[in-house]
Amino acid sequence: MGRLSVNLCGIELDNPIIPASGTFGYGYEFAELYDINILGSFSCKGTTLHPRFGNETPRIAEAPAGMLNSVGLQNPGVDAVISEELPKLAKCFHKPMMANVSGFSIDEYTSVCEKLDKEPQVGWLEVNISCPNVHGGGMSFGTDPAMAAEVTKAVKAVTTKPVIMKLSPNVTDITAIARACEDAGADGISLINTLMAMRIDLKTRKPILANVTGGLSGPAIFPVALRMVWQVAHAVSIPVIGMGGISSAEDVLEMMIAGAAAVEIGAANLADPFVCPKIIADLPAVMDRYGIERLEGIR
Amino acid sequence: MKQQIFTIIENKPLTDSVYRLRLGGNTSAITAPGQFVNIKLEGKFLRRPISVCDRSGSMLTLIYKTVGKGTEQLSTMKKGEQLDLLIGLGNGYDLTPSGERPLLIGGGVGVPPLFSLADELLQKGCKVSAILGFNTASEIFYADEFRMLGVETYITTVDGSAGIKGFVTDAMKDLDYSYFYTCGPEPMLKAVYRASKTDGQFSFEKRMGCGFGACMGCSCRTISGYKRICKEGPVLKKGEILWED
């Protein structure tokens, strides 16, 4: 086991770096840029039962130290993911990947998870109950502890793979949601999804995003994410994946000291497609600087 | 796609709000006219996508309009300063179906990507015509550069202060062409689509996140499914376009 290796729900990772869902496609796009096997793992684009175009455009806006998106879960649907995307990925990625799942009903979540459960490439199911950009699904499951528990229980019943529940920061008490997921059998928690936000174009006096609101990500949200990861890591005993604005090896260490077993890197991939290899390369020297021998147990 | 550092050779205004940026560096990852670059600017999170006007060996020419804080910041940068670019983005124009007399139709800052396209079509042996549309005479740029290449160039201005009074479509009516290539604001593209007598290719612009296909920020619907303007685009063929009203 190397200095960077960590354990995530019983699966060993070479390092804790996991590109976050929605910023890394289905992996193979980035394989044209670098060997993606250097990553700990990656979380694929949020997958639903049926193909989705997502929201109208514009879907993207700039923000101070970050960005807004309102993509709205564009994806080809789980059947096409299994028949087309996963085989393409198999050619360039030889580690367990994290399948990110979204839905508009409990039935949809379980149908998608049941199908992905049979795929040997899938290491973990990351169940997104926190998408701020769709109506009548996504985040509405993640803002109420009882609903979050219900999704968790239903998904756990159809899979033997570790189930990681991805939480929204757009709640009054994120620890209550995390505890409800843990009590319902979740194997891990990942947080945070994006923060609900908006921008207005002064020239048109209208919202920049066609969806009016979107999710804020990037370095701007890092301190918020860090605080919530700290709170959740102290509230539950299952592994926590920390994400939200991480863009350097130093950020990774902060997040892991706050209690994260692994981290996801999101918006930073869009501004700099080589940020993950850079962070992995930087980690040993930055760990030396702060007297950290190994990442496992750093908390 | 490649990430490359370029050094500014020239950053000069061509009109009140249009600048020509000449950069020195390795341009080998650019494979077709109509591709774009994505520029990292100090203090800005998202990169700024700009179409490639021309490339020759180690020199890259970009022409951009100051439309917001990012491009305004870019316009203050000086010779010798460095820029971090992602280059070779997007599919670019396909020269294969051009025929012998292709027509290029550009509007405003849609003109620049047609410049290297014109150059390559001329090298291929085509007789190239271009209609360059602007609002008014003071906004015209690159008309002489197109003429010096050997392109039969027509200018239109909305207010009639130079060239043909009206829109690019007013100049299209009287021309014979084997195929067309166009780039400009979406209302102009739509008008060209309706006025065109042959097949052609359209270059689109959209707000982008990453610029290289990862974020799904710039998706559009086409006859042949969903496409990303940054990856399968920015150039779409006439036959696959679905206009979103």
User: pLDDT grade, residue A146 (50/70/90)?
Assistant: very high
Average pLDDT, chain A: 96
The pLDDT of residue B245: 64
The pLDDT of residue A80: 97
Determine the residue of chain B that is closest to A63 in CA distance. B45
Task: For residue B232, tell me if it sits in a domain.
Answer: no
Nearest-by-Cβ selection for A271 from B46, B70, B206: B46
- Domain span at residue B67 reads 2-89
> Which class for B144: exposed (0-12), middle (13-18), buried (19 or more C-beta within 10 A)?
exposed
Task: For residue B233, tell me if it sits in a domain.
Answer: no
Nearest-by-Cβ selection for B209 from A67, A74, A274: A67
Which domain-ending residue is among B89, B107, B133?
B89
pLDDT > 90 fraction of chain B, expressed in percent and rounded: 98
Average pLDDT over residues B91-106: 98
Per-residue pLDDT tens digits for B69-79: 999 999 999 99
3-class secondary structure, B223: coil
Is residue B120 domain-shared with residue B64, that is, in the same domain? no
Q: In what order do the strands lie in the sheet with A214-217?
A: A60-63, A66-69, A214-217, A195-197
Task: For residue B145, tell me if it sits in a domain.
Answer: yes
Does pLDDT of B42 surpass 70?
Answer: yes
User: pLDDT grade, residue A137 (50/70/90)?
Assistant: low
Average pLDDT, chain B: 97
ipTM of the complex: 0.92
Is residue B60 domain-shared with residue B105, that is, in the same domain? no
Q: Does A80 touch chain B (CB under 8 A)?
A: no
Domains of chain A in start order, with CATH, are: 6-55+73-196+218-289 (3.20.20.70)
Is residue B130 domain-shared with residue B187, that is, in the same domain? yes
Task: For residue B237, tell me if it sits in a domain.
Answer: no
Is residue B81 domain-shared with residue B103, that is, in the same domain? no
Q: Does A54 touch chain B (CB under 8 A)?
A: yes
Does pLDDT of A1 surpass 80?
Answer: no
Is residue B29 domain-shared with residue B84, that is, in the same domain? yes
Which domain-ending residue is among B74, B89, B104?
B89
CATH number where B152 lies:
3.40.50.80
Does pLDDT of A220 surpass 80?
Answer: yes
Cβ of B221 and A53 within 8 Å?
yes
Other Cβ atoms less than 10 A from the Cβ of B193: the count is 15
**b/e string for A28-41 if b means 16 or more Cβ within 10 A?**
bbbbebeebeebbb
Is residue B84 domain-shared with residue B104, that is, in the same domain? no
User: pLDDT grade, residue A283 (50/70/90)?
Assistant: very high
Task: For residue B63, tell me if it sits in a domain.
Answer: yes
Is residue B84 domain-shared with residue B100, that is, in the same domain? no
Task: For residue B143, tell me if it sits in a domain.
Answer: yes
Task: For residue B17, tell me if it sits in a domain.
Answer: yes
Is residue B193 domain-shared with residue B108, that is, in the same domain? yes
Average pLDDT over residues A175-196: 98
Is residue B110 domain-shared with residue B196, that is, in the same domain? yes
Closest-CA distance of chain A to residue B51, Å: 18
Q: Does A201 touch chain B (CB under 8 A)?
A: no
Is residue B170 domain-shared with residue B75, that is, in the same domain? no
The pLDDT of residue B186: 95
User: pLDDT grade, residue A136 (50/70/90)?
Assistant: low
- Residues in A touching B221 (Cβ below 8 Å): 53
Task: For residue B221, tell me if it sits in a domain.
Answer: no
Is residue B57 domain-shared with residue B140, that is, in the same domain? no
Q: Is A131 a catalytic residue?
A: yes
- Domain count for chain B, please give it: 2
User: pLDDT grade, residue B57 (50/70/90)?
Assistant: confident
Is residue B103 domain-shared with residue B152, that is, in the same domain? yes
Per-residue pLDDT tens digits for A70-87: 999 999 999 999 999 999
- Among candidate residues A9, A113, A131, A276, the one labeled active-site is A131
CATH number where B38 lies:
2.40.30.10
| CB contact at 8 A, B100 and B52 | no
- Residues in B touching A53 (Cβ below 8 Å): 219, 221, 226
